[in-house]
């Protein structure tokens, strides 16, 4: 594949509308499928990860019709899913794999979940182990005492448990809560740090009684789900972050992003950038029924300053950390990102990918051990220089390096950008639309 080349030729300006937030989309498909009624989703994102979840639940017997960004689901009920005729492919969607494992653990049939090459290298013991405590029968591929896909899941009668997450993870929490729906008794998940609450919000939208407070989330099993009828999925804040940073670091830039998710467990990236002196204003805020807040974001370009990001913020910005590292490199002064070790087990080792690439572009960036975790230290100079960099087949690394290249002096060549279709397939087109000179 030919490298993708970018350079800073003009100032971004204009309007951005984004496909629906994929974290919300996954959960909307799953709970609509577990509800014995019809549900209609609007602004559904048409990228690999969300389509993987549609594929899984179609294989489980759910009638799902898709017309562009509108999706109609005729749910089967909590125990109405059907045994798949063959192993179910989740592509490289980690959310699909982990949440589907939680659902399937409590069904009355056997199923196998298989993953793409990249996801098959990501650890699954953190999900499988607590599910087994609930009574799940899960067999995984084992390498050096860690567990990986494929997963053979023999559905069993589950019991609720109280489980304290050793590492803050919204995906593990969500898998346990979904398993708890099918279990007898009460399921409680205790988090060391607050994580994204999309699952709790979506459960409540479907009429499930969920108690949340002081980092403890609990629900009683076998509750009946009631469809809200129609769900609008706000724009993906993680995708928005790339455009926000790009505009924030270019003096004279001005962009507006419409109807984007402002979930408080996801919008920390906005307040952190504001702490870096980014000119960002939330100009409109509306409530999406009883589920997800959303609004419009106005960004004006300027100069950023370094900040310290504490470890308790990391679970709230884990997907935005790569582009935040770009922002820190283009800021002046020191930025410290504390407790970022979770980046090692994403689609790629994002600490390695981002550190290697940004150093090639002239960034002063170091990684230091901090107890059992790691910190990233970036001494920003306010500038980067073009270089030949790699995506490492990771969508967030690729988009981060495109933004870095569009903000740097000289030309930047990214070896492969095809991985962007995993979460934001029209990212490059939308970026071009913000430039007067659309010739990258």
pLDDT of residue 437: 53
Question: Are both 402 and 420 inside the same structural domain?
Answer: yes
- Coil vs helix vs strand at 67: strand
User: Tens of pLDDT along 15-50?
Assistant: 999 999 999 999 999 999 999 999 999 999 999 999
Domain around 378: 4-20+234-433
- One domain for residues 177 and 245: no
Residues 202 and 247 in one domain: no
pLDDT tens-digit map of 107-162: 999 999 999 999 999 999 999 999 999 999 999 999 999 999 999 999 999 999 99
Within-domain flag for 222:
no
Q: Answer with the one of 216, 246, 279 that is the final residue of a domain.
A: 216
- Does residue 169 share a domain with residue 184? yes
Q: Give yes or no: residues 142 and 268 share one domain.
A: no
Question: Is 255 found in the same domain as 150?
Answer: no
* Total structural domains within the chain: 2
Nearest to 390, CA basis, from 431, 332, 424, 350: 350
Residue 438 falls within a domain, yes or no? no
Q: Are 16 and 42 in the same domain?
A: no
Q: For residues 102 and 169, what is the distance between their CA atoms, to the nearest angstrom?
A: 14
Which entry of 296, 319, 375, 394 is annotated as an active-site residue? 319
Tell me, yes or no, whether 318 and 403 share the same domain. Answer: yes
224: in domain: no
Q: Look at residues 172, 190, 216 and tell me which one is the last residue of a structural domain.
A: 216
Residues of the chain with pLDDT under 70: 286-290, 437-440
Residue 118 to residue 116: CA distance in whole angstroms: 6
Q: Is 103 helix (H, G, I), strand (E, B) or coil?
A: helix
pTM: 0.91
**Residue 51 within any structural domain of the chain:** yes
* Residue 440 is assigned to a structural domain of this protein: no
Residue 287 backbone phi and psi in degrees, to 5: -100, 130
Q: Are residues 240 and 174 in the same domain?
A: no
Is position 221 within any domain? no
Do 282 and 206 belong together in one domain?
no
Do the beta carbons of residue 277 and residue 40 sit within 8 Å?
no
CA-CA distance, 167 to 126, in Å (whole number)?
9
Judge whether 225 lies within some domain.
Answer: no
Residue 269, SS3 per DSSP: helix
CA 225 from chain centre, in angstroms, equals 25
Do 404 and 31 contact (CB within 8 A), yes or no? no
Is residue 284 domain-shared with residue 423, that is, in the same domain? yes
Cα(284)–Cα(311) distance, rounded to whole angstroms?
A: 30
Q: Answer yes or no: is 228 within a domain.
A: no
Give yes or no: residues 365 and 410 share one domain. Answer: yes
181 membership: H or E segment, kind and range: helix 170-181
In this prediction, residue 92 carries a pLDDT of: 95
Bridge partner list, 254 = 13, 300
Task: Say which residue the tokens 């505009």 belong to.
Answer: 247
Give me 221's structure tokens.
């099993």
What is the CATH classification number for the domain harbouring 14?
3.65.10.10
Residue where a domain stops, chosen among 216, 244, 276? 216
The answer to whether 249 and 279 are in contact (CB under 8 A) is no
What is the reported pLDDT for 251? 96
290 tagged catalytic: no
Query: Cis before residue 103, ω within 30 degrees of 0?
Result: no
Q: Which of 242, 304, 298, 234 is nearest to 264 (CA)?
A: 234
């Amino acid at each position: 594949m030919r490298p993708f080349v970018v350079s800073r030729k003009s100032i971004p300006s204009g309007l951005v509308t984004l496909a629906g937030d994929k974290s919300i989309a996954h959960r909307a498909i799953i709970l609509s499928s577990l509800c014995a009624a019809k549900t209609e989703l609007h602004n559904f994102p048409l990228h690999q990860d969300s389509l993987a979840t549609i594929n899984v639940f179609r294989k489980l017997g759910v009638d799902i019709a898709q017309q562009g960004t509108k999706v109609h689901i005729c749910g089967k009920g909590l125990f109405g899913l059907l045994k798949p005729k063959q192993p179910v492919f989740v592509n490289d969607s980690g959310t699909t794999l982990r949440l589907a494992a939680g659902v399937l653990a409590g069904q009355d049939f056997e199923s196998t979940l298989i993953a793409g090459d990249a996801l098959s290298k990501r650890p699954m013991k953190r999900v499988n182990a607590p599910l087994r405590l609930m009574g799940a029968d899960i067999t995984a591929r084992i390498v050096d005492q860690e567990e990986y896909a494929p997963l053979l899941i023999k559905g069993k009668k589950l019991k609720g448990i109280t489980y304290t997450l050793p590492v803050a993870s919204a995906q593990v929490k969500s898998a346990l809560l979904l398993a708890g729906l099918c279990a007898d008794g009460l399921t409680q998940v205790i988090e060391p740090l607050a994580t994204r609450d999309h699952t709790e919000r979506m459960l409540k939208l479907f009429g499930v009684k969920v108690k949340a407070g002081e980092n403890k989330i609990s629900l009683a099993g076998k509750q009946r789900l009631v469809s809200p009828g129609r769900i609008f999925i706000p724009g993906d804040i993680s995708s928005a972050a790339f455009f926000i940073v790009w505009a924030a670091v270019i003096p004279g830039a001005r962009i507006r992003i419409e109807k984007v998710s402002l979930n408080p467990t996801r919008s920390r990236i906005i307040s952190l950038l504001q702490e870096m002196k980014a000119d960002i204003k939330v100009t409109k805020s509306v409530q999406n029924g009883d589920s997800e807040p959303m609004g419009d974001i106005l960004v004006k370009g300027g100069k950023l300053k370094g900040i310290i990001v504490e470890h308790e913020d990391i679970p709230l910005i884990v997907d935005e950390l790569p582009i935040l590292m770009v922002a820190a490199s283009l800021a002046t002064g020191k930025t410290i990102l504390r407790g970022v070790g979770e980046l090692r087990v994403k689609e790629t080792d994002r600490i390695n990918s981002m550190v290697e690439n940004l150093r090639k572009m002239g960034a002063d960036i170091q990684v230091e051990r901090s107890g059992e975790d790691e910190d990233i230290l970036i001494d920003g100079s306010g500038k980067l220089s073009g270089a030949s960099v790699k995506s490492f087949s990771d969508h967030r690394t690729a988009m981060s390096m495109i933004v870095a290249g569009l903000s740097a002096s000289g030309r930047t060549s990214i070896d492969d950008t095809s991985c962007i279709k995993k979460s934001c397939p029209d990212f490059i087109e939308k970026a071009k639309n913000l430039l007067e000179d659309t010739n990258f």
